[in-house]
Structure 1
Amino acid sequence: MSDIINNNFIHNIIKKDLLKNPKKKINTRFPPEPNGYLHLGHAKAIFLNFNLAKKYNGTCNLRFDDTNPKTENLKYIKSIKKDIRWLGYLWNNHSNYTSQYFKKIYQYAKKLIKKNLAYVDQLNQIEIKKFRGTLKEKGINSPFRNQTIKKNLSLFKKMKNGFFKEGEMCLRAKINMKSNFLLLRDPVLYRIIYKNHYHTKKKWCIYPTYDFAHCISDALENITYSLCTLEFLENKKLYKWILKNLNFKKNPPIQYEYSRLNLEYSILSKRKIKILIKKKIIKKWNDPRLLTLSGLRKKGYTPNSINNFCEKIGFTKQNSIIQLKLLESCIRKDLNLTVHRKMAILNPVMLIITNYPKNLKEILKVKNHPTNKNMGFREILFSKKIYIEEEDVKKKILNSKKKISDIKIKLRYAYVIKIYKIIKDKNHNILHILGKYKQNTIGKKLNNSLKNKIIHWVSKKNSIPAIFKFYNKLFLKKNPEKEKNILNIINPNSYYINKGFVENSILTYKINTALQFERLGYFLYINYNIKKNFLIFNKIVSLKQKKYSNKF
């Protein structure tokens, strides 16, 4: 069990409770609204709730908060279940739905009316907002607040039976319009929505609000700890008020809050993601530039890396912005231990080794992993014509202070090459480079002048064309959630592609295999276009800067 689960403040609360009541059963829940795909913030909640339940031999329910048929869809339910399973978690027996409690929730609403703690308000939404007041101004009672219990019951029944239009009436709790807490100024408990529900179909035309339905559902499922993020801190007062006045007094669920996830240069708001899709900034929820779990999976992130990230960030009451490099370090660490190494060229420049025999086929035996012998070896072909990286040409050849005829480079796992000529077109673009190889330099110790001249390469005879997709930060600002219009801060270079070459041994690997392209980073092999004969890769994460070994 994770040390984070053992040491966070929620664990300490549970530990104290169990000292008082050792037989107390620990029940948690994960209650997503099926109006979008899960994101990294949801992964944090999943990690906490499921692991706490596991630690204390309790249960964790999956319950869909399906109280708004206008925005919810079965496709989101399927994607949510898929993401939870992908992370490695199983919920208790079967999934629950708030909609399965609609009949009971309706009866609880009537109970509040009968206790004169709820009323049917005939103000519209604009009027309700106006009457509610502000943080500086107290609210004003609705003129319908003091209707008789009998009239409220009658109107509520008519609401249920479809007598009124949407927005014409709603059920509100009768708490305190002068409260310092806006949420306690007679919050809405039920509203009219004429929309077919995927579960209950047309049975209902009134739906409970999240605040009303959530605490009742928790109580009905015997949830002991209702864990949520800090933006629900004020809702806690309403949570308690509802349970208390509905007589859920014996071991009621208790709400505790922890900090929500904020990751730099990213958004997690489903509403804002929908804006990006509508404006065609991105196509779908699984765009690799998003922090949706499906987007991260498509990019090449693993369940283990996501869980490790959730463990590292921990659970506190302190809001903060997490650096992207922490997330990247988790996937990098995971892949470093498990993936094969290959060579690829993203921006190819041809190097012709003029003194290398034209028909010679020299096979080099190379490790698939520098430290894991169990991953075996692969064979790569060395030939007269090879591709090298344009960036290496610029930094290690063109940027050299030496004369072209004095420049030497070391090909990874292969020979030392002496460059003697660069062929350019009339626009000074490099066509190809000419060089000569020095025999007997494979595996030899390098002198100091060559230690920083080691480059990777791919043989023309031993390669296959490839497309490399790069997904960078979607936003230019560090905290886009604070921006009024996120469309103004879109990074124009958040997505681009390169065309190059890879070792053709990759054809033996399955689609969705992660690989490390040496000196370049980790990539996910996502497709092979057989007709046009090229492979497609998604960039997962760059390599951590390090010194490369000289033993080639």
Structure 2
Amino acid sequence: MTDTINPTPSNFIRTIIDEDNATGKYAGRVQTRFPPEPNGYLHIGHAKSINLNYGLARDYNGQFNLRFDDTNPEKEEQEYIDAIMEDVRWLGADWDGRLFHASDYFEQLYAWAEQLITTGQAYVDDLSAEEIREHRGTLTEPGRNSPYRDRTIEENLDLFRRMRAGEFAEGSRVLRAKIDMASNFITLRDPVMYRILHAPHPRTGNAWHIYPTYDWAHGQSDSIEGITHSICTLEFENNRRLYDWFQEALGIRRTQQIEFARLNLTYTVMSKRKMIRLVHGGYVDGWDDPRFWTLRGLRRRGYTPEIIRAFTDGIGVSKANSTVDYHVLENAARDVLNLSTPRVMAVLEPLKVVIENYPKNKDEFFDVPYYKQDKTRTESRQLPFGREIYIERDDFMEVPAKGFNRLAPETEVRLMSAYYIACTGVVKDSVGRIVELRAVYDPATRGGTSTDGRKVKGTLHWVSAEHAIPAEVRLYDRLFKEEDPEKDVVDFIDNLNPDSLRVVDALVEPSLASAQPGDSFQFVRDGYFCVDPDTEGDRLVFNRTVSLRDSWAKGQ
């Protein structure tokens, strides 16, 4: 496996792999996998796992598998499968044709289940799901054996085969491993291996009436595929004992599970159930809503694979659970976009300025570079200028506050790359709202530089009134108003941020007429913006990816 992406920083998992390679544990082989359940869309937490697993395989010249753990047909859809594959590719992870499904192994898993029955290590149980929970015990009390635990091997085999044939109702029977109901580890208290579901499967159709549980399918699938390092999040730490028990009982190839801390991010909820509620309840506009932390939503907002890799590499990999501040993700976006995006001018809250001493019916053009932040790049555009322009409404104050260094009556400012202007008058409507400014310019300051050495404190961005293009700009903010949306509320929905979206009718410079969905720009002084897929024909739509500074952290 080869890749041009720089190796990711070292971590405790890489230390383990280095030690394994030094001892020849897997003959120097490294094979990892990303095993999503196809019951929803991927989010930023999944991206951490994908980048970790793919990065390990890439950097150790190993192999990376994509495997769908498709063991619950009631919640799985082809829509999710297709979206997951697209998102993994978008992140830059390449499975090189090694696409697998747990359903590929249904026959083998069934055969192994019969093997455990024949060795007395599995049995068919008639207890209901609620009764099984009651028998399981607690962290301080041992469980109790099921009254069906001592069925004969012959009876268990007969019942299990009839379960497969579809003879029994859903919920009437399960297959359980026979381990130890008094174990200190609840996962070892006779876990369920199969349950009856009369549901069609996206890949196997109606061939099966029983389906393996995640815990039964997971470790065995790793073994079949030859996974050397099974990287899981910490919630599977106790399950490792169960996966090891299954593989040892079956006498199959052992895999090595290593747990790391999952990604928790402020101002989000990572529960798939809660995310589905946000979508189905209409609190967000679908899985690709730019306020969402799904990969679809982040992509639509203007986040790139490079940003997400910078973020996941930056937060590192550890064994201790913690919560990452959302601004760390935003700062990763700023760092990447600052280097890669062209600078353009857009006015989000336009206020008209008439330059009274500028010749009527005259246009001139300024050659303005796109990449002022990168002196090695020479791309530029011709920016038109005329008698009438627009500036940002909040760049003018009729009675300037202390420290206000932008335009005010009788003050002079620089129009970026154009001229110095001074405000000479204010035009108001019938209710006293400012609708227009009058100004004069200094022809000797062409390009925004004074020939007599005088200085001005303020520099404003602007657009030509005649040449500007209208655009819809969507100003997105965080979906929740609290760092922990579930703290001190009965329902996390109560913490939704009512100001998470504001739409403005903006004016942008004419060079953006050819912008395509997915293109990113820095709007000078306003932040980083991405062209939304809603853009069509003459209708330009931009999403704010991130502001130029973290206004939340600074208390706005």
Task: Give the shorter-chain TM-score range.
Answer: over 0.9
Which of the numbers 499, 503, 526 marks the counterpart of 1:493? 499
Please list every run of 5 or more consecutive structure 1 residues that lacks an aligned counterpart in the other structure. 546-552
Please show how residues 147-546 of structure 1 align to structure 2 within 5 Å. Answer: 147-248=151-252, 250=253, 252-370=254-372, 371-394=374-397, 397=400, 405-442=409-446, 443-445=448-450, 450-451=456-457, 453-480=458-485, 485-526=491-532, 533-544=538-549
Determine if contact 2:135/2:143 at 8 Å carries over to the other structure.
Answer: yes
Question: Identity percentage over the alignment?
Answer: 42
- Distance in 1 (CA, whole Å) between partners of 2:63 and 2:218 is 18
CA contact (8 A) 1:262 1:322 kept: yes
User: For residues 360 and 391 of structure 1, what CA distance do their matches in structure 2 show?
Assistant: 28
Superposition pairs for residues 46-195 of structure 1, below 5 Å?
A: 46-195=50-199
Q: Deviations over 1:17-67 (max 9, x none)?
A: 122117242211111111111111111111111121122222111111000
Q: Is 1:9 matched with 2:15?
A: no
Give the Cα separation in 2 of the matches to 1:52 and 1:175: 34
Shift of 1:281: 0.5
CA deviation after TM superposition for structure 1 residue 400, in Å: 7.5
8 Å contact from structure 2 (residues 234, 262) kept in 1 = yes
1-structure distance, mates of 2:317, 2:288 = 26
2:11 maps to a residue whose letter is: N
How far apart, CA to CA, are the structure 1 residues paired with 2:496 and 2:249? 48
Q: Secondary structure at the match of 2:529?
A: strand
> 2-side partners of 1:433 and 1:20: how far apart?
76
Aligned residues: 542
CA RMSD in angstroms, aligned pairs only: 2.3
The CA deviation at 1:336 is: 1.8
Q: 1:337: Cα distance to partner?
A: 2.0
Q: Is the 8 A contact 1:4 1:314 kept in 2?
A: no
The 1:527/1:153 distance shift into structure 2, 3 A limit, reads closer
CA displacement at 1:512 relative to structure 2: 2.0
Residue 3 of structure 1: CA displacement? Answer: 8.2
**DSSP 3-state at the match of 1:16:** helix
Q: Partners in 1 of 2:471 and 2:402 — Cα distance?
A: 28
Letter in 1 for 2:528: Y
Kept in 2: contact 1:523–1:538 (CA 8 A): yes
- The 1:425/1:200 distance shift into structure 2, 3 A limit, reads same
Question: Secondary structure of 2:150's partner?
Answer: coil
> SS of the counterpart of 1:287?
coil
Shift of 1:372: 3.6
Instruction: Specify whether residues 329 and 405 from structure 1 end up closer, same or farther in structure 2 by C-alpha distance, changes over 3 A only.
Output: closer
- Separation in structure 1 between the aligned mates of residue 96 and residue 245 of structure 2, nearest angstrom: 28
Per-residue displacement from partner, 1:172-198 (whole Å, max 9, x unpaired)?
111122222222211111011111101
Separation of aligned partners in 1, 2:404 and 2:121:
84
AA aligned to 1:459 is S
Q: Deviations over 1:427-484 (max 9, x none)?
A: 2221111222222123325978722x21111110120111101221111221236665
Q: Does the aligned pair in 2 maintain the 1:340–1:375 contact within 8 Å?
A: no
Q: Deviations along 1:398-431, whole A, 9 cap, x unmatched?
A: 7778996432222111222221222222322211
- Which residue of the partner structure matches residue 549 of structure 1? none
Q: SS state of the match for residue 157, structure 1?
A: helix
Residue in 1 that maps onto 2:554: none
SS of residue paired to 1:462: coil
Comparing 479-488 and 328-337, the one that deviates more = 479-488
How far 1:312 moved relative to its partner? 0.9
Q: Is the 2:398–2:409 contact (alpha carbons within 8 Å) kept by the matching residues of 1? A: no
After TM superposition, the score normalised by the length of structure 1 is 0.93
Partner of 2:21: 18
Query: Partners of 2:17 and 2:530 in 1: how far apart?
Result: 41
Q: Do the aligned partners of 1:265 and 1:479 also contact (CA within 8 Å) in 2?
A: yes
Post-superposition CA distance 1:73-112 (Å, at most 9, x none): 1111111111111111211423101001000101111111
Residues 513-536 of structure 1 deviation map (CA, whole Å, 9 limit, x = unaligned) = 1111111111112358667x4411
CA contact (8 A) 2:45 2:262 kept: yes
- Secondary structure in structure 1 of the residue aligned to 2:353: strand
| Superposition deviation, residue 137 in structure 1 | 2.6
Q: Assess, with a 3 A threshold, how the Cα gap between structure 1 residues 238 and 527 changes in structure 2: closer, same or farther.
A: closer
Helix, strand or coil: the match of 1:536?
Answer: strand
2:291 counterpart SS class: coil
What secondary structure is seen at the aligned counterpart in 1 of 2:497?
Answer: coil
Q: Deviations over 1:377-404 (max 9, x none)?
A: 2111211111111121249957778996
Amino acid at match of 1:519: R
Q: In the alignment, is the contact (CA less than 8 A) between 1:348 and 1:501 conserved in 2?
A: yes
CA displacement at 1:6 relative to structure 2: 5.5
